[in-house]
Chains A and B, each alone.
Chain A
Amino acid sequence: MGQPATDNFEPKSITQFNKDNPDPKDNKQKNTGKRKKTTRMLVSYGFLLLITCITIIPFLWTVSSSLKGAGDAIFSIPPKFIPGDPTFSNFVTVWNTLPIPRYLLNSAILTVFGVVLPLFLCSLAAFPLARINFKGRNLVFMAIIATMMIPNEVTMIPVYLIINKLGLIGSYTGVILPGAITAFGIFLMRQAFIDIPKEIEESAVIDGANVWQVFWKIMFPMVKPMLGVLAILSFIAAWNNFLWPLLVLDDPDTYPITLGLYKLQGTFSANTRLIAAGAMIALIPIIFVFVSFQRYFIEAAYNSSVKG
């Protein structure tokens, strides 16, 4: 890692290319281009559908299992995805046995902090690591990367002891703080900041912007696509996290949804239909978030990619 590898590589090559870009196209080329485009579209859809077949299985299986009544077998050969006797009773049972709205609310609170804090704090740390030359930068960055190579299983108990020393056992702060900043997030955001051309920074400084303004007003909006990615990943991590809340929280009323759903796997019965229904309930908010964040790192970038 050491020096930011791409400091002077990418921006230059992009600008060079742009200068050489010839623009006129005659009609002939347009026509063959069009035909080419249709075949390419068909081929693309072919691939898209093929991959869909592979990735949609878990979703189909979860949906179908959650809708199967007691008369339908879950693990049958050949697989049966369409319930013979579709019913919402599994959802009703889950809803009635567990305080789902409360769990969802708890999850929402934990997740909001679990997304906002890493977005801000990781960017804060990544900015100087990517854009400022200072003594010790490599050491700090290396140390951060190095911690990613240590399995969480061995640092879990030390972190727990620290949370305990700080008196945070049983509190949401104790759940949120250890994940408020992650080495992974810093690494990712540093990667994004490095890609920004130096000229943008320079012209901002000439216009009289101070270092904070350069970061907050200029750089931060420019890394939006990567912030979108980090937001989605942090969201999923925070939403699906259950071991840490289990260790830290002592009141079941404060449990997030994933931890609450573990209650469906009792000692004497693990009803797959209920587990599937529970999984669906937990999945819907994630899908919603994915769809809304997708806009940030795809469409927003589409519009801004006309730069240069």
Chain B
Amino acid sequence: MNIFKNKEKFILILLFSAMLLVIAACSDDAANSDDTIDDSGEDTAGDESEGLSGEVEFMTISLSPTFDDYLNNLKEEFEAEHENVTINLRDVPYDQVEQVVLTSASSGQLPDVMNLNTDFVKKLAANGAVVNMDEAAADVKDTFFEGLWETGSVNGEVYALPWYTTTSGLLYNPDLLEKAGYDAPPTTFEEAWEMSEKIKEETGAYGQVVTDEMHLLMPKNGINILNEDNTQAAFNTSETEEMWKDLKEKYDKGLFPEDVMLGQVKLPELYAQEKVAWWSTGPQLFRQVKDLAPKVYEKSLGAPALEGKAGVQHANPMNIAVSSNSESKEAAVEFAKFVTNAENQLEFGKLAAVLPPVKEAVNDEFFTKGKDSEDATESGKYYAAQQLESAVNMTPPVEAVSEIYKVIREAFHRVILEDVEPAKALEEAEAEVNSLLE
């Protein structure tokens, strides 16, 4: 192994200088592509009066092939309306979205219109990669529920249009409840925990469980993650300490399993095995139980979501964002608005059993008729739609949301799994979050 032989040293030096050249070339590229961004921005601005034109790539997440017809319809309708615009559809598997977006961005070819989850929108927005919707889509802002419009906000500006959304409902197993002597599902977290103890005793199944979404459980119970101007952590309070202490006691009593808390086991799998009495989730996901264990699904019923101390529900929309260096930005923004308008959202909501974050769409009979339905998905849909008015997206409007969430989750896990004092875990998490916000 004599890589560093004297005679070969100079070749190493050669390689090193080649490397420097490459870096130089790369940074030139970056600078160049920057210029082109500015140019194209001006160009499209100039074209505005002459109608829309250009090619628009629309990237969706795991919607093909189930919704191919719907997406193709959108494409055709829009192209018919704007004859100089071509829409190219591209569907990407959920797990690979980040890699696809980042590699295409590296070559300056970010898809023009993108379906993105909330955390990733904030990352892109903070780096100036997507168009400011408060400005570009000011005209349609009022058609959305306010609490949902804010989903794409970072540092006070909104960078994405809310697309389809979900709020929570409750899918429950009446058999298990009956065995424990209950004839109705819980309505609040407090009640849920009370029932859990009895259910565990009588049936061995879990009732209320803690999932890997501690960052949502806290705001649902009135604990803010960040302070008002989003510059500092605000969750290190006596209420949180109380809550975590309480949950630790419940864990020690065996009231909830750690694999669900860690996200290692998905709740529908436990529910399908009748190992847990209820599952709070969006009604569009109820059917997963149907896939896993049809018999369990058949006897299940739907109910409104559990309420926390804050009395507010979380809604988590998918978002539509537009690339800020799109070559046909005007057309792209117009298409983004088109996809998220009341008519198209309603149609998609019907197809996918999701909720449209648009005020007009949600009053449609489709969402109100299921109230007394026997089918859990139908009734769940009704309850979920009812919540939309008051639902908010609880994601803090900062770039580092996913990192902040991770810090909070892990601090809680330390309390549960490693017996760390809640006060200590919270203090450390607070410091970490503050350094992330710097």
Are the C-beta atoms of B103 and A247 separated by less than 8 Å?
A: yes
Number of interface residues of B (CB under 8 A): 44
Residues of B with C-beta under 8 A to A76: 273
Q: Is B292 an interface residue (CB 8 A)?
A: yes
Contact A252 B91 (CB under 8 A): yes
In the complex, A246→B64 CA distance in Å? 14
User: Are A156's CB and B291's CB within 8 A?
Assistant: no
Interface digits, A101-136 against B, CB 8 Å rule (1 contact, 0 not)? 000000000000000000000000000000000001
Contact A98 B94 (CB under 8 A): no
Q: Give the contacting residue for A266; candidates B66, B90, B272; CB below 8 A.
A: B66
B3: chain A residues within 8 A (beta carbon):
138-139, 142
Taking the complex as formed, is A268 at the interface, i.e. its CB lies under 8 A from any CB of chain B? yes
Which among B2, B26, B285, B293 is the interface contact of A138 at CB below 8 angstroms?
B2
Docked-complex contact B272 and A247, CB < 8 angstroms: no
Q: How far is the CB of B294 from chain A (nearest CB, A)?
A: 5
Name which residue of chain A comes closest to B290, CB basis.
A70
- Residues of chain B contacted by A139 (CB below 8 angstroms): 3, 8, 11
Interface centre among B103, B285, B352, B354 (most CB of A within 10 A): B103
The reply on B127 being an interface residue by CB < 8 A is no
When distances are taken between beta carbons in the complex, the residues of chain A under 8 Å from B293 are 73
Shortest Cβ distance from B355 into chain A, in angstroms?
A: 13
Q: Which residues of B contact A164 (CB under 8 A)?
A: 107, 109
Q: Are A77 and B273 in contact (CB under 8 A)?
A: yes
Residues of A within 8 A of B292 (CB): 73-75, 272
The verdict on B96 contacting chain A, using a C-beta distance below 8 Å, is yes
A156 to B100, CA, bound (A): 11
Determine whether B65 belongs to the interface, using a CB cutoff of 8 Å to chain A: yes
A202 at the interface (CB under 8 A from B): no
Of the candidates A2, A247, A263, the one whose C-beta lies within 8 Å of that of B99 is A247
Q: Does A265 contact B288, Cβ atoms closer than 8 Å?
A: no
A1 interfacial contact with B, CB 8 Å: yes
Cβ–Cβ < 8 Å partners of B96 in chain A: 243, 246
- Whether B106 and A157, one on each chain, are in contact in the complex, defined by CB atoms closer than 8 angstroms, is yes
In the complex, how many angstroms separate the beta carbon of A277 from the nearest chain B beta carbon? 13
**Within 8 Å CB of A1, what residues of B?**
1
> Closest residue to B61 on the A side, CB-wise?
A267
> Is B240 among interface residues, defined by CB-CB distance under 8 A?
no
Contact present for A161 and B66 (CB under 8 Å): no
Check A273 for interface membership: any CB of B closer than 8 A. Answer: yes
CB-CB under 8 A from A70, the residues of chain B are 291, 294
Q: Cβ of B92 < 8 Å from any Cβ of A?
A: yes
> Which residues of chain A from 61 to 82 have any CB-CB distance to chain B below 8 Å in the complex?
70-71, 73-77
Contact of B106 among A71, A161, A269, A273 (CB under 8 A): A161
Cα A71 to Cα B272 with chains together (Å): 12
Contact partners of B284 in chain A: CB under 8 A: 268
Contact with B along A168-202 (1 / 0, CB 8 A): 01000000000000000000000000000000000
Return the contact of A160 from the options B62, B90, B107 (Cβ within 8 A): B107
Asked if B295 is an interface residue, CB under 8 A from chain A, the answer is yes
Contact B65 A250 (CB under 8 A): no
CB-based nearest B residue for A246: B96
Contact of A270 with B by CB under 8 A: yes
Cα distance A82–B420 in the bound complex, in angstroms? 46
| Chain B residues within an 8 Å CB radius of A243 | 96, 99
Kindly state whether residue A8 has any CB partner on chain B within 8 Å.
Answer: no
A262 CB within 8 Å of chain B: yes
- Distance, CA A98 to CA B64, complexed state (A): 10
Q: What sequence of 0s and 1s flags, for each residue 79-114 of chain B, a beta carbon within 8 Å of any chain A beta carbon? A: 000000000101111101001101110110100000
Indicate the size class of the contact surface on chain A.
35 or more
A303 contacts B by Cβ under 8 Å: no
Expressed in whole angstroms, the minimum distance between the Cβ of A129 and any Cβ of chain B is 15
B183 at interface, CB cutoff 8 A: no
* Other-chain contact of B94, A160, A246, A265 (Cβ < 8 Å): A265
Contact of B273 among A75, A252, A265 (CB under 8 A): A75
Chain B residues near A267: list those with CB within 8 A. 61-63, 94, 352
Residues on A with C-beta less than 8 A from B11 are 136, 139
B269 at the interface (CB under 8 A from A): yes
B287 sits at the interface (CB 8 A): yes
A292 at the interface (CB under 8 A from B): no
Closest CB of chain A to B274's CB: distance in Å? 10
Contacts of A246 in B (CB 8 A): 92-93, 96, 100
Q: How far, in angstroms, from A295 to B267 measured CA to CA in the complex? A: 47
Task: Report if A271 contacts B (CB, 8 A).
Answer: yes
Docked CA distance A1–B285 (Å): 55
Asked if A97 is an interface residue, CB under 8 A from chain B, the answer is yes
**Separation of A142 and B12 alpha carbons in the complex (Å):** 12
Residues of A contacting B102 in the complex (Cβ-Cβ under 8 angstroms): 157
Chain A residues contacting B93 (CB-CB under 8 Å) are 246, 262-263, 265
Interface residues of B in 345-361 (CB under 8 A from A): 352-354
The winner among B93, B102, B288 for most chain A CB atoms within 10 A is B93
From B64, B288, B294, B295, give the contact of A252 (CB < 8 A): B64
Residue on B with the closest CB to A264? B65
**Whole-angstrom distance between the Cβ of A13 and the nearest chain B Cβ:** 24
Interface centre among B29, B64, B100, B354 (most CB of A within 10 A): B64
Cross-chain contact of B65 among A71, A98, A273 (Cβ < 8 A): A98
State in angstroms the CA–CA spacing of A301 and B18 once bound together.
45
In the complex, A252→B285 CA distance in Å? 27
**In the complex, what distance in Å separates the CA atom of A40 from the CA atom of B2?**
47
Closest CB in chain A relative to B93 CB, distance in Å: 4
Distance between A237 CB and nearest chain B CB, rounded to angstroms: 18
Q: Which residues of the other chain, B, contact A266 by a CB distance below 8 angstroms?
A: 62-63, 66
Contact present for A160 and B352 (CB under 8 Å): no
Which chain B residues lie closer than 8 Å to A269 at the CB level?
287-288, 291
Instruction: State how many angstroms separate the Cβ of B205 from the closest Cβ of chain A.
Output: 14
**How far is it, in angstroms, between the C-alpha of A268 and the C-alpha of B106 when the chains are bound?**
30
Given contacts A2-B2, A77-B273, A247-B103, contact A273 B291 (CB under 8 A): yes
Q: Which residues of A contact B62 (CB under 8 A)?
A: 263, 265-267
- Known contacts A138-B5, A268-B66, A269-B288, then 16 further A-B pairs from the complex at CB < 8 Å, ordered by chain A residue: A73-B292, A76-B273, A77-B273, A142-B1, A156-B99, A157-B103, A161-B29, A161-B106, A164-B107, A246-B93, A246-B100, A247-B99, A252-B64, A267-B352, A269-B291, A270-B291
7 residue pairs, one from A and one from B, having the closest CB atoms: A262-B93, A267-B62, A164-B107, A73-B293, A160-B103, A271-B291, A157-B106
Interface CB pairs A-B, < 8 A, 22: A2-B2, A71-B295, A76-B273, A77-B273, A98-B65, A138-B8, A139-B8, A139-B11, A156-B103, A160-B107, A243-B96, A243-B99, A246-B100, A263-B64, A265-B62, A265-B93, A266-B66, A267-B352, A268-B352, A269-B291, A272-B292, A273-B291
